Chain A
Amino acid sequence: GENVEQHPSTLSVQEGDSAVIKCTYSDSASNYFPWYKQELGKGPQLIIDIRSNVGEKKDQRIAVTLNKTAKHFSLHITETQPEDSAVYFCAARGGGSQGNLIFGKGTKLSVKP
Chain B
Amino acid sequence: KAGVTQTPRYLIKTRGQQVTLSCSPISGHRSVSWYQQTPGQGLQFLFEYFSETQRNKGNFPGRFSGRQFSNSRSEMNVSTLELGDSALYLCASSQLRGRGSQETQYFGPGTRLLVL
Query: Interface on A for B, CB 8 Å cutoff?
Result: 31-32, 34, 36, 41-46, 49, 51, 89, 91, 93, 95-106
Query: Interface on B for A, CB 8 Å cutoff?
Result: 4, 31, 33, 42-45, 48, 50, 55-56, 58, 90, 92, 94, 97, 99-110
Q: Is the CB of A89 within 8 A of B43?
A: yes
Q: Which residues of B contact A51 (CB under 8 A)?
A: 102
Given known contacts A99-B97, A100-B58, is B42 in contact with A44 (CB within 8 Å)? Answer: no
**Cβ distance A99 to chain B, nearest Cβ, rounded Å:** 5
Shortest beta-carbon contacts, A-B, top 10: A43-B107, A100-B45, A103-B43, A32-B102, A43-B109, A44-B107, A95-B100, A98-B56, A43-B110, A105-B42
A102 and B90 alpha carbons, distance in the complex (Å): 14
